[in-house]
Amino acid sequence: MNINFDNETILNVEKIHGPLFAEISSLNYDSRRIEKNAAFFCMEGEQQDGHLFIEDAIKKGASAIIGSNEAKLARLAAAYPDRTFVVVKDTREAMARLSILFYQQAYKKLTTIGVTGTNGKTTVVAYIYSLLNQIGKPTGSIGTIGTMTSEGPFPFQPTTPTTPEAPDLHYLFHQFLQRKEQAAAMEVSSIAIEQKRVEGISFHIGVHTNISSEHLDFHKTFENYKKAKLKLFKQTEKAVVNLDDKGMAEDILDLHHGPLLTYSINGHPDADVFASNIRTNRKGSAFLLSIEGRASLVHTPIIGHYNISNLLAAVCTALHTGVIGEKILEKLPKIKGPKGRFQLVETPGNSTVLLDYAHTPEALRKLLTEVKKLNYRKLILMVTGVGIRDKNKMAKMGEAADGQADAYIISVDHPGYRKPEEIVASVLSGFSETNRTNITVTHSRKEGVIAALNLAEKEDLIILTGGCINGCQIIRGKALPHSDETIIEHFYSTQVNQAKSSLKPEAK
């Protein structure tokens, strides 16, 4: 694509050095991934300043450099007069706007659905994906557990945990269009909103789950965190609101003036869609679903009241897309959730493993409330501190778990640049009631999973909370592959093989 930077007012260009026109074949913010005729964005982050890598990008063939450091760009423009140097006030905003232009506004040709909230984003996106695809509206999804087209997983390696950077996001929208998708459901994190990864997008539907304290290492205050979340509803045509959430529901109702659907599992009288008489067992849940003024008995493979709430968010979303209630009801018995969200795994040892991504104190409390409704002999709980998240939250995870299990594994998720020993100590500081003899400490998630499995006996329930982001553990800036399910499978297959070996007669 040939771009005249002097003519693109949406980029808010302050000054251009060198040619006004540049041939652009790709967009990138990582100098290591630059190709010929790429546009390189000089992003300034906590660890690095992209302006320091401009010459690396030029040597690899970048045709345009976009950044905010005018002195740096002017100096390099004199050394490389054949390249275009574009000075902008906000590099992230320019990157988002140019991504929309480069990918020819692909997002506008899809029904875009943005889901935000402290807990439940991944599950709601998965339910929307499952429901719309069952109904016959081909839908892709983007979020913590990866990228999906309507046909299945899409090979894409993100550089951020939840919401991709703008060039990656619009690339995915473009890929969805190429594959004839009609809708895209995605997680929108508060950090992504503040970092302008979704800048310039007008979502067809914005979905709210709930809010509790999170990411305060980034936002500094809860009010800043909430303000970031609310920004999504300034760029959505329609909204879905959880009336059970006292933290943010009223704010969205005051802010959003477009079409609105609300939901509740707590009997809120104003809810458009609500569930009552919820009954849960290990196979799923049954409840009365009131939708479009009619109550129907629904059976789903979903476990947990909070997951029923997440399902209602998906139901409201489907209604917003024009699907009638009767058609939605037909599909709910076959709804599919994401891996690692109240996922029960039976083991050869006749114990049960429950995988759940509960990584906030509120999510952990809700999970444990639901778990107590199940039958088991002994409860073994793994609680982790997430190194790449708010340090102050680690002790609160310990507080939420304290006194709720028979045995504990305290371990580490995504240590990032923090020391595993310090993360574990922070989680342990939240415990006050539990006898320390009932606590086992490990310094990696793999060690934690194995320690939990080693403790289990017949009819025990092992809960592995926290977990992987995009199938990896983030350690010192590197995404290292990790799978709890693979570790579990290997653990029990090794036990079975050892048992078989012990039964073989000795050679004479």
293-305 residue pLDDT tens: 899 999 999 998 9
163 marked as binding residue: yes
Q: Provide the 3-class DSSP secondary structure of residue 87.
A: strand
Residue span(s) of the chain under CATH 3.40.1390.10 come to: 2-91
Of 66-70, 470-474, 488-492, the range with the lowest mean pLDDT is 470-474
Of 131-140, 321-330, 357-366, 492-501, the range with the lowest mean pLDDT is 492-501
> Which residue(s) pair with 241 in the sheet?
262
210 marked as binding residue: no
For 86, what's the count of Cα atoms within 13 Å in the CB-facing half-sphere? Answer: 29
Q: What share of the chain has pLDDT > 70, as a percent?
A: 97
Residue span(s) of the chain under CATH 3.90.190.20 come to: 343-495
> Of 2.40.30.160, 3.40.1390.10, 3.40.1160.10, 3.30.70.260, which CATH number belongs to 2-91?
3.40.1390.10
**In this structure, are residues 462 and 453 in contact, taking their beta carbons and an 8 Å threshold?**
yes
Residue span(s) of the chain under CATH 3.40.1190.10 come to: 103-334
Query: Exposed, middle or buried by CB within 10 Å (0-12, 13-18, 19+), for 457?
Result: exposed
pLDDT for position 507: 53
| Spatial separation of the C-alpha atoms in residues 21 and 163, rounded to whole Å | 31
Q: Provide the 3-class DSSP secondary structure of residue 65.
A: strand
pLDDT for position 298: 97
| Spatial separation of the C-alpha atoms in residues 464 and 462, rounded to whole Å | 6
118 marked as binding residue: yes
For 262, what's the count of Cα atoms within 13 Å in the CB-facing half-sphere? Answer: 19
| Spatial separation of the C-alpha atoms in residues 115 and 109, rounded to whole Å | 19
Classified by CATH at the fold level, domain 343-495 comes out as Protein-Tyrosine Phosphatase; Chain A (3.90.190)
pLDDT for position 344: 86
496-505 residue pLDDT tens: 666 666 666 6
Of 283-292, 327-336, 416-425, 475-484, the range with the lowest mean pLDDT is 475-484
Strands ordered across the beta sheet of 38-41: 13-17, 84-88, 64-67, 38-41, 26-28
Q: Which amino acid is at 72?
A: K
| Spatial separation of the C-alpha atoms in residues 388 and 215, rounded to whole Å | 10
pLDDT for position 469: 66
349 marked as binding residue: no
Average pLDDT, the chain: 92
E strand segments, 165-272: 183-187, 203-208, 236-242, 260-264
Quick one: how far is CA 329 from the chain centroid?
A: 27
Q: Does the structure show a pLDDT above 90 at 400?
A: yes
91-107 residue pLDDT tens: 999 999 999 999 999 99
Q: Provide the 3-class DSSP secondary structure of residue 373.
A: coil
| Spatial separation of the C-alpha atoms in residues 275 and 278, rounded to whole Å | 7
122 marked as binding residue: yes
Cα dist. 10→13, 67, 411 in Å?
Answer: 8, 15, 47
Produce one character per residue of 460-492: b if its CB has 16 or more CB atoms within 10 Å, e if not: bbbbbbbbbbbbbbbbeeebeebbbeebbeebb
| Spatial separation of the C-alpha atoms in residues 125 and 162, rounded to whole Å | 12
Q: Does the structure show a pLDDT above 80 at 47?
A: no
197 marked as binding residue: yes
424-481 residue pLDDT tens: 999 999 999 889 899 999 999 999 999 999 999 999 999 999 876 667 888 888 888 8
369 marked as binding residue: no
Q: Does the structure show a pLDDT above 80 at 495?
A: no
Average pLDDT over every residue of 203-225: 89
438 marked as binding residue: no
Average pLDDT over every residue of 248-259: 96
Average pLDDT over every residue of 159-165: 87
Q: Which amino acid is at 19?
A: P
Cα dist. 46→43, 49, 52, 142, 192 in Å?
Answer: 10, 8, 14, 25, 15
> What string of H, E and C letters represents the secondary structure of 397-439?
HHHHHCCCCCEEEEEEECCECCCHHHHHHHHHCCCCCCCHHHE
**In this structure, are residues 172 and 218 in contact, taking their beta carbons and an 8 Å threshold?**
no
pLDDT for position 276: 96
pLDDT for position 396: 93
**In this structure, are residues 389 and 357 in contact, taking their beta carbons and an 8 Å threshold?**
no
pLDDT for position 253: 97
221 marked as binding residue: no
* pTM summary value: 0.88
Highest mean pLDDT among 273-287, 332-346, 385-399, 473-487: 273-287
Query: Exposed, middle or buried by CB within 10 Å (0-12, 13-18, 19+), for 444?
Result: middle
Q: Does the structure show a pLDDT above 80 at 112?
A: yes
DSSP per position, 329-366: HHHGGG----TTSSEEEE-TTS-EEEE----SHHHHHH
Six token digits for residue 52 = 């320091």
CATH class of the domain comprising 103-334? alpha beta
